[in-house]
Structure 1
Amino acid sequence: MEQKNNDQEVLLVKEKNEAKLKAVSGFDAKGQLKTEAPKQVNAGGFLKIDRHSNPLENFFTNFNRQYKNPTDFQFYKVPANLVEKTATVLEKMLKKPDTSSNKEMLEKHEVKPGDFSKEQTQEKRPNLIDENKVDWSQLEMLGVSKDFLKNTKNLEPMLNYQKSPGLIPITIKTDHLNIRTDARLAFRQDEKGDFKLAVHAVRNNPELDRPYFGVTLTDEDKQNLMKTGNAGRILHPQYKEGESTPVFLSIDKLTNELVAARADKIKIPDEIKGVKLDENQKKVLAEGRSIYVEGMTARSGKEFNAHLQIDADKRGIGFRFDNQQQQGQTQNEQKQVRIPNSLLGKELTEDQQQKLEKRETIYVAGMKDKKGEEFNAYIKVNDEKGKLDFYKWNPDKAQTKGAEVIPDNKSKTQVAVNSEGKTNEATKDVKEPLKKDQVNPSERQQTTKRNRAKSHSM
C-alpha cells in the first residue's frame, strides 16, 4: 500500500484571489470543481493520479469545457503521501512567487490546463497540406532543408497555409553571384494542385507610395500603417479587372510587406481572452478600426489591457500594447519599433511581447543563427536606433555603461562566426558552423584545420 501511495500524485488548486491551496476531488453533478482541504485525513476523497498513466487528459478536457476562464485557476501536482506538507510549503512560496528559488519550485509542480489542451489539439489535428504534394527541391535550391523548418517550428504552420512564423535565412544562387537574405516562406497551390514555394523577402521599408492593386493609399492610411501596422479601414483593391474585393490591409512586421485579408473571411469573435464584446465593438472591428479592451486574461493567468484590431497578416485579431498613460510623450517614438511574433526562429510568448512593448528586458533561449545553430541572448528595445538589441548580460542589471551589444557570453563566439562571418586565431580556418556555447574548434575541426594548413603550405 505504501508503495502504491508513492506512485500516486494529487492535484492542488489555487483559485484567483484566494491564498489557500485545496486538493481536487473531482467534479460535482453540475460539472463544477470539487475540492477539499489538503489534509491527510481527507486523502480518501482526493483525485489520484498514477505516475505511470495519464488520467489528466479526461480531467482537463472536462475542466476546460466547464470553465470559460481556466486561467483563474492554478494547478500543482504533488506526491499523494506528502500532500499536506507540500501544500503548506507551496502556499508560502505563492506569497513571493517571483523569488528565483520559489519560482523554480512552483514551475516544477505546476500543471497548466492551457498548455495541456493545446498539446491535445495539436496531436489530433492533421496538417491541411499533403507533404507529398510539396516541391521540396525548391527549398533545397535556397539552402533550406525540411529538417531545418521542422526544428525551428516553422514547418507545421507552413503545412497549414500559413507563412513561416519566423524569418529564414536563404541563399539565391546565380552564375556569378550568391545573394543572401532573410525571408518568410509559404506553400501556395498551383493550377495542377501541387504546392510551390512562395518567398516573402525582407524589405527595407513598406511600399506605401505605390498603388496597391489600383488603390492609392491616403495620408491617413499611411500614417495608420506606420503607427499601428494596420490601415484602419476596409479597402477595395482590384485583383481582377472590373472586380473589387473588400480587404483588411496590414504590414507584415517581419518583412515590411503589405498583406491583405479578405473581409468576408475574417470572423469577429463574440469573446476575446475572457471578455465578451458588445455589438458596437464588433462593428468597429469589422470596419477595420481598433477598440480598447480591459480585463483580458493571458495564458499565464495575468490580466492585461490592449488595443484590438484586425491584423491581415495574422488573419485575425491583433493585440497592441500602447501603455500610453505610463509612457506619455515617449510613446510615439516607441511605436516605431514593431514587436515581432518571433525572433530568429523562436516564437515569443504574449508575456514576452508585452514586456518588450513596455520596454522591459526579456531573455530568449533557443534562437537560431544564420547557420542554424542555437544561441541565447537578453533582448531589449532600442528606441533611439529603432531596433531590438541583443546583450550577453541583462542590461538592466549591468554595472558597466556603454556595454557592447552582443549575445550572452556563452553564445558570443558562435554568433560572431556563424552569423557575422568573424574569426579569431582559434577559428579562422574552421569552415563548419560552431555549435551552441562553442568558443573553440572541436578536436575534429582542429584536425581538419591542420590538414588544410598543410595542403596550403605544399
Structure 2
Amino acid sequence: HGDVLDNFFKNFFRQCKEPSRFGFYRVAADQADKLLEVIKEFLKDPDTNKELLAPHKVDTSGYEKKVQEEQAAQTADQEQKPEEQPEQKQDDEPKKQEEMEQKNEQNQESPQQAQSNRGYQPIDESKINWQELEEKWGVKRDDLEKSGDLDRMLNYGKSDLVRVSPNFGGEAFELDARLSFKKDG
C-alpha cells in the first residue's frame, strides 16, 4: 500500500536477502522480444515446465555457497578470543591506511567533497549579481530579506513562494515560484 519506488526497493531488498526464493533466467538479446511472453507463460507453472526452463535458468548455487562461507568466516572472526583481536587489528591497519589514501585521492578529484571536509560554507552573498537577478527575473534582495527567504537560500535551501516576473522576448510574466541558489562552476 506504499508508493511504487518504496515497494520496489522493499521487494528488491527482501529478495536479495533470500535469493533462493526466486530465480534468474537468461535469453539472447536478439530473441528477447519473442521469448519473453513464452517464458512468462512457463513461469506461471515452473514445476510442470521445469525441463523447458532449465536451459535458460542461471545457476546461483556458487554465489550462495560463497555468501554462506563469507558469513561463516565473519561469525568465526567475531567469536575469536580477546587475546587474538589485537593481532587482527594490527593486520587491519595497512588496509585502513590504503582506504584513507583512496579517500584522499577521491577528495582531490571532487571539489565538492573537498569543500565538505573544510566544513559547512554558506553561499557568499557578495558573489550574487543582484542587478541581473532583478532585471531578468524581477526578484529583489530586500523582498527576500524581509520575508526571511534570503537566509534559507544562502544556506542551500528553497524559499517560500515568491512572486517573480521573468522577461521572455520583451514580455514580462508574473508567476509564483520557489527559488534556490546554486554555485556555478
TM-score band, normalised by shorter chain: 0.3 to 0.5
**Larger helix fraction of residues:** 2
Relative to the length of structure 2, the TM-score reads 0.32
Greater RCO, CA 8 A, separation 6+: 2
Q: Normalised by the size of structure 1, how large is the TM-score?
A: 0.14
